Amino acid sequence: MSYVNHYDVVIAGAGIVGASVAWHLAAGGARVAVVDAVGPAAAASGASDGAVSVASKKPGPLARLASASLVYTRDLAAGGVLAGAFHARPSFVFGQGAAELAALDALVSKLHAISGPVHVTGDGPAAQLPCLGPGVERLITLEGEGHMPGHKAVRAYLSAPGITPIWPAPIQGFDIDDAGVTLHLPDRRLRAGHLVAALGTRTTDLFPRLPILPRAGQLFVTDRGVPDLLPGSLTAAAYLVAKTEASDAVPLPPVVVDPLTTGQFLIGSSREPHADPNRVDFATLRQLMARAVSALPALAERRIIRAFAGIRAAVADSLPVVGPLPGESRVTLATGFEGDGICLSALMGRELARMVRGLPLTQGIAADLALLSPARFTDARQEAWG
C-alpha cells in the first residue's frame, strides 16, 4: 500500500473538539486533514444541548476553564467563525425544596468567587418571569452565558480553507516513527507530522486502557410554540447537582429547557451509565417532561416531535484528558469532555493548536490545562500508550 497525501496534522474525529482544533491550526497556516468514521458532528456533538455555561461547572479548574472558553467563544462569535453558531441569552436556574434551594445558594457563592463573565442579575420568586409555574420556588437569573448547537459550530469550523475532510473513514490503527504518524484507514494510509485524537467515547478503540466511561443522555424536541415565551434557558438546580457532584442527592428530575431560535424547545437531559445511542427510555422522558411542565406550564400545549440520546465521554476524576500522549510527542489526546465539550471547545481548540505547534500555552490557564494531562493515568500508561 503506498502513502497518499501528506498533512502537517491529521485530526481524528470531526466532533466539536476536533473541528475547533482543525480550524485553529488551519488559521495558523497548517495543512490539516480531519478524518471521521461517519461524518461531522456524528456523535456527542450532534446530540447535545449546547449550553455554553459556567454555572453548570464544578468549582475549580473546570469552572475557570469554562469562564475563559465562554469569553473566547463570545469573541469568535462577534463577527468571527462562530457568528452564526453561538448566541448569547440569559440563563435561569430554578429550585424547589430544601436541597435545591441550598444548591442555588452554592451557585451564587461559586459565581461570586469566580468573579468571571457570568453575573447574577436576579434572585427571587418565580414571579420575575410570568411564564413560570408552581414548580419554581426560587429563580436565579444569570447574564453572560449562551447557547451553541454543536452541529452548527462544527460546520462553521470545518468550512475554513486549508482543511481536508475525509469521511466516512474509520481509523483502524496508527504507527509512529521518527518522521511522523501513519494512520490506517480501510482503503489507504495517511501520513502526517502529528496526530490529534479527538474521538470522544470511541477514544478507547485506539487507546484501550484510557478510563473513558459512557454517560448516555436523553433529549427531546417539541414542535414550534409561542415565540419569545422563555427568553433564555431554564435549568433545575438538580441538574447542577447531578453534573457537578456526579450524584443524585436531589431526588428531582434534572431538567433543562432551552428555547431554540426556531420557536421549538429542546428538553433534556438524563445521565445513564450505558453507551447505546439507540436506547430511548420513555419513563425517563416522562419524568423530565412532567418537571418541565410544572416549571413552564405552556409546554403542556406542545407536542414532542423527536426524542434521541447522545453519549458523553466521562472520566472518573471528572476532568477531560488533554495533552501529549506520554512518551510520544507526535500524538495529542483531546477527549473526556463529558457534558462540557460544547462549552470548552473554543478554548481547547486554541490551546491544542498551540501545543501541536510547540507554542507556550496562554498565560493564566496553563496551570489548569496541566491538570488535564493524560500523564495523570500513570497505572494505565504502559498498556494504554504502548
Ligand X SMILES: Cc1cc2nc3c(=O)[nH]c(=O)nc-3n(C[C@H](O)[C@H](O)[C@H](O)COP(=O)(O)OP(=O)(O)OC[C@H]3O[C@@H](n4cnc5c(N)ncnc54)[C@H](O)[C@@H]3O)c2cc1C
Of residues 239-298, which lie at the interface with ligand X (CB under 6 A)?
268-269
Q: Is 149 in the site for ligand X (CB under 6 A)?
A: no
User: Is 96 or 284 the residue whose CB approaches ligand X more closely?
Assistant: 284
The number of residues that bind ligand X (CB under 6 A) is 43
Choose between 207 and 377: whose C-beta lies nearer to ligand X: 207
Nearest 10 degrees: Cα torsion 10, 16, 21, 22: 50
**What DSSP designation does 171 have?**
-
Cβ contacts of 284 within 8 Å, gap of 6 or more: 218, 270, 272
Residue pair 56/48 in contact (Cβ under 8 Å)? The answer is: no
55 vs 365, beta carbon nearer ligand X = 55
Q: Which is nearer to ligand X, 165 or 297 (CB)?
A: 165
- Which is it for strands 119-124 and 138-143: parallel, antiparallel or unpaired? antiparallel
361's grid cell = 500555552
Task: Identify the residue whose cell numbers are 465539550.
Answer: 341
Rounded to 10°, the helix 16-27/150-158 angle is: 30
- Contacting ligand X (CB under 6 A), which of 217, 232, 254, 349? 217
Site for ligand X in 51-110 (CB under 6 A): 51
Site string for ligand X, 193-212 (x = CB under 6 A): -----xxx-x--x-------
Nearer to ligand X by C-beta: 120 or 308?
A: 308
Short-list 43, 167, 147, 46, CA closest to 92: 147
E strand or H helix at 195: strand 189-197
By beta-carbon proximity to ligand X, the closer residue of 14 and 252 is: 14
Q: 192 - beta bridge partners?
A: 7, 181
Encode burial over 130-139: b for 16+ CB neighbours within 10 A, e otherwise. Answer: ebbeebbebb
Query: Taking the complex as a whole, how short is the minimal distance between the CB of residue 70 and ligand X, in angstroms?
Result: 10
- Tell me how far, at minimum, the Cβ of 319 lies from ligand X, in Å: 13
Stretch that binds ligand X, among 186-194, 278-286, 306-314, 357-365 (CB under 6 A): 306-314
Q: Decide: is 16 part of the binding site for ligand X (CB under 6 A).
A: yes
Q: Which residues bind ligand X (CB under 6 A)?
A: 12-18, 35-38, 42-45, 47-51, 150, 170-171, 198-200, 202, 205, 217, 219, 268-269, 310-312, 335, 337-343
